[in-house]
Amino acid sequence: MCGIWALFGSDECLSVQCTCAMKIAHRGPDAFRFENVNGFTNCCFGFHRLAIVDQLYGMQPLRVKKFPYLWLCYNGEIYNHCRLEQQFDFDCQTKMDGEILLHLYDRFGIKKMASLLDGVFAFILLDTANRRVHLGRDTYGIRPLFKFITDNGFLAVCSEAKGLVDITHSMATAANIVPFLPGHIEVFDLKLNGKVESIQFEQFHCCTQEPAHAAYDSVEKLPTGVDKETVKSNIRRLFENAVRKRLMAHRRIGCLLSGGLDSSLVSAILVKQAQAEKLPYPIQTFSIGSDDSPDILAARKVAAHIGSEHHEVNFTAEEGIQAVEEVIFHLETYDITTIRASVGMYLVSKYIRSKTDSVVIFSGEGADELTQGYIYFHKAPSPRAAAEDSVRLLKELYLFDVLRADRTTAAHGLELRVPFLDHRFTAYYLSLPEEMRTPKDGVEKHLLRDSFKGLNLIPDEILWRRKEAFSDGVMSVKKSWYTCLQEHLESMVNDDQMEKAHKTFPHNPPTSKEAYYFRQVFERHYPGRGQWLPHYWMPRWIDACDPSARTLGDLMAQAKAIVTQSS
């Protein structure tokens, strides 16, 4: 996990502009480099490093003797770099996983290069020989990337939007800062004056497609039948491989453990794989919540079952409320459910960084979107509608859960790994018959749960535990975290402000005092940038005004009771 930043054709002095790069210093606390591009006016790279792989040769921009005209600045991990090196007989000069991008680009070009990468990444690749600048981002946008380009061709790129907001330029019209779309590459023609012109923007992979790198994967071709036992075996095999390949690290590995299904499966398989790989330390697991919260109690049971070195972080509503402004600054969003869930993740990440030596952190993000884990999927009008919404959620992850997971961990110099979003695993799961993936017998994620049934991997009560949103499960059953937050914010926004909310914030106007307060804080840090969030995350097919899983569960229970009474 690193922070990358680059300018091409800056209108102002680089020594002034480069101070903006320091706004993402938290992403790479181990080292920093700022480097001009020789021969091109006002072009430069900035790089903040968190050393995970090849601590000796891992500084960037990466340049190797074989390709003196290539400059690479990237944030990510390429899990199949060794396999690709052997497959194509590349002569790599470092042990850095990112070097494989240079060799693949030289042989195959930018689009095929990106499609062969099994991993998470955001990159800026400069080819001075052909005067081209290339940008790219992984399928789900697990690693962030933002850009702006002015009307006269000044391009600025950064891991987080905050590194671009204060960059100055000579144009009268403002340059819009936008997230770079996941699963895409873009090519720019580089002029001698450093300015650029976009000449290609193309998708290289979609989540429903088998990835090109599957041909070189350690898990070879799977049985193709769709009988239940074959499917469950394939799910286990692919998911275990997704965890195994992510053990690539020279720093200590840990795992977030909420006590829910997703993080419990990740933790259990991680402990098992770490023992098989003979890692020289026990896996640390981390949970956060109040003493009597459902998450704390469930996580404690899982940790005892799998034998992890477990850490519990006590979380009070007051601490959470105090952290909200910092969290919104790091998130760069005002989405309600994202902020609620981020507070606990931000505080547990803070604990990990200050109290332990774990740096690479596994987590369960992506499972709900992939396996139809949200409670509202019970109300899907058809298996086809549910399958389509699952894909929609996956494509929007970079705006919500993936954004949350990256920013809250990166804020404290940690690197996140999310095996549920493994390319092969997700492509296989999405290829299964639509009827097979829907909730069954009143239980969401039934197929995933059933795939690990009877293995004693995690306790049965956890394997079949009901979905809890993070904002529900970290506090007591009687009073959830989001309820505490709403009560506190009730006095922070007055009724007059709410009446004028549509005029004050015409884009995504807040409909609650909680949402209004979040928007106020966001606008304080990023004035006029409300378009960064296209829409709020909200459930479908149910009349809900709040995204909380516990609220949805109550609504559905009420609806079921009404139907029962009427019949």
Query: Where do we find the tokens 């309600």?
Result: 336
Place of tokens 């709020």: 536
3-state secondary structure of 39: coil
Return the structure tokens found at 431.
């290829």
364 assigned to a ligand binding site:
yes
Q: How far apart are CA 126 and CA 59, in angstroms?
A: 16
**Other residues' Cβ atoms within 10 Å of the Cβ of residue 315:** 25
Q: According to the annotation, is 358 in a ligand binding site?
A: no
What is the C-alpha to C-alpha distance for residues 432 and 437, in angstroms, rounded to an integer?
A: 7
Angle at 255 between CA 251 and CA 260, to 5 degrees: 170
Q: Helix 317-331 vs helix 336-355: angle between axes, to the nearest 10 degrees?
A: 100
Tokens 């389509």 appear where? 388
Q: What is the distance, to the nearest Å, from the Cα of residue 439 to the centroid of all Cα atoms in its chain?
A: 25
Pairing of strands 358-362, 155-158: unpaired
Q: What six digits make up the tokens of 436?
A: 């097979």
* DSSP code per residue over 158-221: ESSGGGTTT---S-SSPPPPEEPPTTEEEEEEEPTTS-EEEEEEEE---TTSPPGGGGG-SS-P
Residue 79: exposure state from Cβ atoms within 10 A (0-12, 13-18, ≥19): buried
For 498, the 3-state DSSP assignment is helix
CA distances from 506 to 201, 331, 377, 503, 537 (A): 31, 21, 30, 5, 17
Q: What is the dihedral of CA 120, 124, 129, 132, to 10 degrees?
A: 110
Strands (E), 227-336: 252-256, 284-289, 309-314
Single out the catalytic residue among 2, 20, 44, 158: 2
- What is the rounded distance in angstroms from the CA atom of residue 258 to the CA atom of residue 294? 9
Is omega for the bond preceding 61 within 30 degrees of 0, making it cis? Answer: yes
CB 281 within 8 A of CB 305: no
Annotated active-site residue 207? The verdict is: no
Q: How many CB atoms neighbour CB 519 within 10 A?
A: 23
Q: What is the CA radius of gyration of the chain?
A: 23
| Residue 97 assigned to a binding site | yes
Q: Are strands 43-49 and 31-36 parallel, antiparallel or unpaired?
A: antiparallel
Q: Is 24 among the annotated ligand-binding positions? A: no
Q: Is 288 annotated as a binding residue?
A: yes
Tokens describing residue 74: 């990237």
Are 20 and 166 spatial neighbours (Cβ–Cβ below 8 Å)? Answer: yes
What is the distance of C-alpha 298 from the center of its chain? Answer: 24
Closest CA to 419 of 140, 53, 4: 140
Distance CA 104, CA 200 (A): 19
Whole-number Cα distances in Å, 475 to 30, 335, 354, 481, 565: 35, 21, 23, 5, 33
Annotated binding site: 97, 256, 288, 363-364
Active site residues: 2
Annotated binding site for L-glutamine: 97
Annotated binding site for ATP: 256, 288, 363-364
